[in-house]
Amino acid sequence: MTGVAAGAALAEASGLALGYGGRRVLDGLSFALPSAGVVGLSGPNGSGKSTFLKACLGLLPPLAGSLRVLGEDASSRRFRRALSRVAWAPQTRPPGQLPLEVREAVLMGRLGLSGFGARFDPAARRADRRAADRALETAGLGHLVGRRVAELSGGQYQRVLIARALAREAELLLLDEPSAHLDAEGREGVVRLVSALANGQGASLVLATHDPELLALCDVVLEFAAGSCRLLPGPASVSGVTS
Amino acid sequence: MMELLELAPVRRALAALFVTGAAFPSLGVFILALELVPARFAVMHASLLGAALGLLAGVDPLPPALLAAVLAGFGAAKLSERGSASAGGPLGLFMVASLALAFIVFHKADVNAIEAFDLFWGSVLALSPSDLGLVVAGGVAIVVPVVLFLPELRAVLFDRVLARTFGIPAAFIHYALVSLVCLGIALAMRVTGALMVDAVTILPALAARSLGKGLGATLAWGAVFGVLANFAGFALAVVLDLPTSPAIIVVGVLLVAGTALYARLALRRA
Which of A62-76, A229-243, B10-24 comes out lowest in average pLDDT? A229-243
Give CA–CA dist A205/A109, Å, rounded. 17
Interface of A with B in 39-68 (CB under 8 A): 54, 57-59
Q: What is the pLDDT of residues A156-193, one digit of tens each?
A: 999 999 999 999 999 999 999 998 888 888 889 898 99
Could you give the angle at the alpha carbon of A88 between the alpha carbons of A86 and A91, nearest 5°? Answer: 165
How far out from the chain centre does Cα A93 lie? 16
How far, rounded to the nearest angstrom, does the alpha carbon of residue B52 sit from its chain's CA centroid? 21
Using a CB-CB cut-off of 8 Å, the residues of chain B touching A104 are 154, 214-216
Closest-CA distance, B29 to chain A, in angstroms, reads 8
In chain A, whose CA is at the least distance from the CA of B149? A116
CA dihedral for B213, B216, B217, B220, sign (positive or negative): positive
In this prediction, residue B69 carries a pLDDT of 86
Q: How far is CA A61 from the centre of its chain?
A: 18
Mean pLDDT over A219-233 rounds to 91
Q: Which of B168, B213, B215 to mutate to test the interface with A (most CBs of A within 10 A)?
A: B213
Higher pLDDT among residues A109 and A6, named by residue? A109
Q: What is the pLDDT of residue A239?
A: 58
Extract the residue ranges of chain B whose pLDDT is less than 70. Answer: 1, 80-90, 115-116, 118-119, 121, 195
pLDDT tens for B164-188 read 999 999 999 998 998 888 888 888 8
- Residue A243, pLDDT > 60, answer no
Q: Which residues in chain A have their CB less than 8 angstroms from residue B213's CB?
A: 99, 101, 146-148
Name the region of A226 (left: φ>0; alpha: ψ -120 to 50; beta: rest): left
CA distances B98 to A38, B45, B55, B84, B87, Å, are 56, 6, 15, 19, 18
Q: Say if CB A241 and CB A212 are below 8 A apart.
A: no
**Rounded Cα distance, B175 and B153, in Å:** 11
Q: Rounded to whole angstroms, how far apart are CA atoms A150 and B216?
A: 16
- CB-based contact, B35 to chain A, within 8 Å: yes
Quick check: B15 contacting A, CB < 8 Å? Answer: no
Between helix B202-211 and helix B8-33 the angle, nearest 10°, is 60
The residues that bridge with A206 in the sheet, in sequence order, are: A39, A174
Interface predicted TM-score (ipTM) of this complex, two decimals: 0.87
C-alpha B22/C-alpha A99 separation (Å) is: 19
- A72 strand-pairing partners: A69
Chain A environment of B164 (Cβ under 8 Å): 59
Is B161 close to A59, i.e. CB distance below 8 A? yes
B80-108 pLDDT, tens digit each: 666 544 545 667 777 888 889 888 888 88
- Who among A58, A99, A119 is closest to B213 (CB)? A99
Nearest alpha-carbon partner for A20 in A58, A56, A51, A57 = A51
Would you state the pLDDT for residue B87?
44
The counts of H helices and E strands in chain B are 12, 0
